[in-house]
Amino acid sequence: MPTQHTTVKRHPERGAYDRATIDSILDEALLCHLGFVTDGRPFVIPTIHARDGDTLYVHGSPGSRMLRTAKEGVDICVTVTLLDGLVLARSVYNHSMNYRSAVVLGRAREVTDRDEKLRAMQRVVEHVLPGRWDDARQPNDGEIKGTTILALPLDEASAKIRSGPPTDDDADLELPVWAGVIPLKIEPSDPIPAAGVGSSPPAYAARYRRLT
Amino acid sequence: MPTQHTTVKRHPERGAYDRATIDSILDEALLCHLGFVTDGRPFVIPTIHARDGDTLYVHGSPGSRMLRTAKEGVDICVTVTLLDGLVLARSVYNHSMNYRSAVVLGRAREVTDRDEKLRAMQRVVEHVLPGRWDDARQPNDGEIKGTTILALPLDEASAKIRSGPPTDDDADLELPVWAGVIPLKIEPSDPIPAAGVGSSPPAYAARYRRLT
């Protein structure tokens, strides 16, 4: 259910509140922007996340300002945005972008239980690169302790989506101006091995494709 | 000069404070995440921006909550993040991403002067799609009035950059785990004309490439 804070007010027809839509956007996005308040001022920092059922995990390090703040119990906002294309209308005013965004609001808790933290770390790695967790050297106790994970319930969340062609004013439709969409997508190129690596990249790296 | 709020504390070696670096990141990013505070809670919303010298313009509509708030004089934070690649280390713990991000803090003013607003609108369009402004139907007075633009000075800003291969612990270097980087890039595909458009796409759309 949309709340006062998650209801999409500008372009309400673009709002979506069903969990399937919200989840699909969170799951596809490779990074999120985490907002928090310090001394009354807003800060927005990029970080990575992963969803596990009804929980959104956000990854970071204990030294980072954002997570120190959040651990003290401050509300946070996690926003992800997928850019799908540039929308060229006949008029400057009706230019737009196609995108899918999700906003999750709430008060995060720090994950302190070792098993939950390890599982959250696994979710983050598998979120970015499915298949990677089992191949890499697993975290030891010091590394688990040295990792900070916040958990945010997916209780207060919304999505906003624009897709499709430009919507020009009727009076502009006959103008001799090209109009349409330039689709955009994140594309990988060939993996670059680190020094000393003699093997071929595993399939999940050689043929990396983001969820669609 | 970095201030208390813009100094990069986590991974300080990744911090950059020179305007050329900050500007290049702002200029390449197709969208930004704008943070603001309402009732003590943080909100983060995607929007578009453009730099004009020492000023960062942020685009939006008067109906949107973020800009209503900012017009009242609340501090904002504008963050952009360019994702350049996935960094696969031998250990889970040393996995990372290559990225370039910029954070701009400050108190925005609403642009009310008609000429400045029109120029800012032009900068936003040309920021996304160089060459487009002159081709499209120009904004009329109602459209200019119906657009909200905020201006934020580039006084308090910083960048953070990670690039290059993974940095594994020495003890992990002999592990039989593939390590390296999967480069990522935003790639356009062929423009899709809107219904009724008979002409070919202009060169800036047919061969769209983001700044690099």
Q: Is B212 on the interface with A (CB under 8 A)?
A: no
Q: Please tell me what DSSP assigns to residue A91.
A: B
Q: What does pTM read for this prediction?
A: 0.94
For the stretch B90-107, pLDDT in tens is 999 999 999 999 999 999
pLDDT of residue B209: 86
Q: Which residues of A fall within a CB distance of 8 Å from B69?
A: none
Lowest mean pLDDT segment, chosen from B2-11, B15-24, B27-36? B2-11
Smallest Cα distance from A21 to chain B, Å? 18
Residue burial B170-209, b: 16+ Cβ < 10 Å; e: rest: eebeebebbbbbbbbbbebeebebbeebeeebbebbeebe
pLDDT of residue B65: 64
- Classify residue B144 by burial, with Cβ atoms within 10 Å: 0-12, 13-18, 19+: middle
ipTM: 0.94
CB B110 within 8 A of CB B148: yes
Percent of chain B with pLDDT over 70: 92
Q: Is A106 on the interface with B (CB under 8 A)?
A: no
- Classified as helix, coil or strand, B14 is helix
Distance CA A6, CA A4 (A): 6
pLDDT of residue B207: 87
pLDDT of residue A7: 83
**CB atoms A177 and B34 under 8 Å:** no
For the CA atoms of chain A, what is the radius of gyration? 20
Q: Which of A92, A91, A86, A82 is nearest to A165 (CA)?
A: A86
pLDDT confidence band for B46 (50 / 70 / 90) = very high
Is the pLDDT at B60 greater than 80? The verdict is no
pLDDT confidence band for B66 (50 / 70 / 90) = low
- The C-alpha angle B189, B191, B195, rounded to 5 degrees, equals 145
Residues of chain A falling short of pLDDT 50 = 62-63, 212
Q: In order of start, what are the domains of chain B with their CATH numbers?
A: 12-188+197-206 (2.30.110.10)
Q: Which of B93, B138, B142, B148 is nearest to B117 (CA)?
A: B148
Is the pLDDT at B5 greater than 80? The verdict is no
Q: Is B209 on the interface with A (CB under 8 A)?
A: no
- Classify residue A130 by burial, with Cβ atoms within 10 Å: 0-12, 13-18, 19+: exposed
**CB atoms A65 and B9 under 8 Å:** yes
Bigger pLDDT: B1 vs B212: B1
